[in-house]
Structure 1
Amino acid sequence: MHNIKSADDFSDLGWATVNQVASYLNCHADTIWRWSRHPENTFPRPRKLAARCTRWKVSEILEWEAALLAAA
């Protein structure tokens, strides 16, 4: 399920893979990793849930997006 078409589809996930986040934000997975590693960026950090299982909390991504839109 990599093609996230709406905020409703995305918010239903709870936790999202890098590919799901990238699909929702319409960018490449490498961009998500770059944003999350840059110390000056406000993009949410991923959580390591288990070995080889890293996820982003969807609510944090949506809050980050809302803050960007509010600042624009």
Structure 2
Amino acid sequence: MTKQPNNLTDKPQITGTIWVNADEIAARFRVSRNTIWRWARSPENEFPDPVRLTPRVTRWRLADIEQFEQIRSEALAA
């Protein structure tokens, strides 16, 4: 039996990339899943683009999400 991941840093990795889904990102930002998809479709928000891994699986790179957080926090601090 394989160990189930219990947080964002304990996610399965493919070639060193940690992938997260919309539900995990929504929990991280304390918003709804629909808000995450709205941000992804909005060009002025500069939210990272999702990556389609298979026809039915879409994920974001955790590194892209963390970079987005960093840029937003720096912009708000300025």
- Alignment TM-score, normalising by the size of structure 2: 0.76
| Structure (1 or 2) with the larger CA radius of gyration | 2
Change in CA separation of 1:12 and 1:31 when aligned onto 2, cut-off 3 Å: same
- Alignment TM-score, normalising by the size of structure 1: 0.81
2:48 counterpart of 1:50 = no
Counterpart amino acid of 1:30?
A: N
Q: Indicate which of 8, 11, 22 corresponds to 1:10.
A: 8
Structure 1 unpaired stretches of 5+: none
Structure 2 unpaired stretches of 5+: 12-17
How many pairs does the alignment contain? Answer: 66
Change in CA separation of 1:11 and 1:70 when aligned onto 2, cut-off 3 Å: farther
Structure showing greater relative contact order (alpha-carbon pairs closer than 8 Å, 6 or more residues apart): 1
Identity score, percent: 35
Distance 1:33 1:43 in 2: 10
